[in-house]
Amino acid sequence: MPYDILTLRRFLLQEYRTHGVEKDLVFLLEDIATACREISFATRNGAFSGQLGATDSTNVQGETQKQLDVFANDQFISHIRNCSRVVALVSEELDEVIWLKRTATAGDYIVYFDPLDGSSNLDVNLSVGSIFSIAHLPGRVQVGDDKALLRAGTDQVCAGYSIYGPATSLVITLGNGVHEFANHLGTGEFRVVSANMHVPEDSNEFAINCSRYADWDTPVRTYVEECIAGTEGPRGKRFNMRWTGSMVVDIHRILTRGGVFLYPDDRDNRDKGGKLRLMYEANPMGFLIEQAGGLASTGRGRILEIPPTSVHQRASVILGSKNEVERIEAHYRDFDAAGGIEAEKKAAEAEAS
């Protein structure tokens, strides 16, 4: 048994030999794994290093930054810089794109990342994570031309996250399945603990922030109401609900045992396009979920096919077990066929008058 340890390096070299994964991508992923180990240590030790708590600054999303948001962002940047093929970085914590090269060449890597996801969990000692997505620059472009970084989710060559829970894991896809590596504390190595993760097609667990019920659109309400109706309702079975406040943690659970995660656009967040960010939350998680046999939808279409218009844009997000996501999409279709929000508004006005 000790002779058969599949480390991240051995796994990546196998991918290089069997699937033609580029050597530079292998090095880049090893650098990202190092950044994740640094962040994992800092989240555990924060109380002693004075790294817990808020800063007095806000990020591009208008959210107060935690000290560890800033630290995690610095770790990603300084480790990713080691790879000379990375042309540009897009971070949740930075308004501006960082261009790393003087000349941009076709095939260079763009890295999009959410350095610390679920950071409000830090105050209460709950799990957090980091999310990343990697795409190729399609052609030779002018350095500083941010439009060149607006790659659709279907262009991703790699996506992954690290979860800082009781154990630290790294979960990645290079387009050939989804694999989980746990961090071995003695050696610092990431070792495969779950190869070819699979999201079961059916599930009886959903994840949504129910405090937003009043703002949800009818398709989302209908789906959740059907679930909570239990054995007497149209689903004829009981459902369980989980909401951790960290997308990484909820998606990790779904990749492990199935379920559906919803952060849809609703009456309150529609002007902004939703809550979660397309390039470094929805797209990488969508790629992982699809690679594991699940679906990633806005309710009305495939997340990975959204044409991006801005590096920090938001999206409606519904991810998880295939049959559950298809059921929610069917509710959206029925709603739209009946005239959607406009028809509902008119009916409410007619009733009031």
Report the nearest approach of Mn ion to the CB of residue 72 (Å): 8
**Given 245, 256, 323, 340, the residue binding ligand AHG (CB under 6 A):** 245
Of the candidate spans 94-102, 113-121, 189-197, 204-212, the one that interacts with Mn ion by CB under 5 A turns out to be: 113-121
- Integer angstrom CA distances of residue 200 from 13, 237, 291, 292: 29, 17, 12, 9
Hey, what are 24's tokens? 């530079």
Cα gap 280→154, rounded to integer Å: 13
The answer to whether 117 contacts Mn ion (rule: CB under 5 A) is yes
CB neighbourhood size of 104 (10 A): 21
Task: From 132-140, 168-176, 242-250, 292-300, give the range in contact with ligand AHG by CB under 6 A.
Answer: 242-250
Paired tokens of 199: 């999201």
Please state the closest distance from residue 68 (CB atom) to ligand AHG, in A.
Answer: 10
Beta strands in the chain (DSSP E): 54-58, 64-66, 86-91, 98-99, 109-117, 128-136, 156-164, 168-173, 178-183, 190-194, 205-207, 240-241, 260-263, 276-277, 295-297, 314-315, 317-320
- Closest CB 151 distance from ligand AHG, rounded Å: 21
Binding flag, residue 133, ligand AHG (CB under 6 A)? no
In 3D space, the residue among 169, 210, 322 whose CA is nearest the CA of residue 258 turns out to be 322
With CB under 5 to 8 Å by kind, the binding choice for 292 among ligand AHG, Mn ion, none is none
Q: Which residues contact 343 (CB under 8 A, 6 or more apart)?
A: none
Give the range of 12-20, 34-42, 91-99, 261-269 binding Mn ion by CB under 5 A. Answer: 91-99
Laid out side by side, the sheet with 178-183 consists of 98-99, 86-91, 109-117, 128-136, 156-164, 168-173, 178-183, 190-194
Q: Which of 209, 240, 309, 310 lies at the binding interface for ligand AHG (CB under 6 A)?
A: 209
Q: Which of 114, 250, 265, 290 binds Mn ion (CB under 5 A)?
A: 114
Dist. CA 134–CA 109, nearest whole Å: 6
Closest to ligand AHG by CB, 52 or 193: 52
Q: Is 15 in the site for ligand AHG (CB under 6 A)?
A: no
Q: According to CB under 6 A, which one of 12, 141, 197, 247 is a site residue for ligand AHG?
A: 247
β-pair partners for 192: 181
Nearest approach, Cβ of residue 217 and ligand AHG (Å): 16
119 binds ligand AHG (CB under 6 A): yes
Does 250 bind Mn ion (CB under 5 A)? Our answer is no
CB nearer to ligand AHG: pick between 89 and 247: 247
Positions that interact with ligand AHG (CB under 6 A): 63, 92, 114, 117-119, 209, 245-247, 263
Positions that interact with Mn ion (CB under 5 A): 92, 114, 116-117
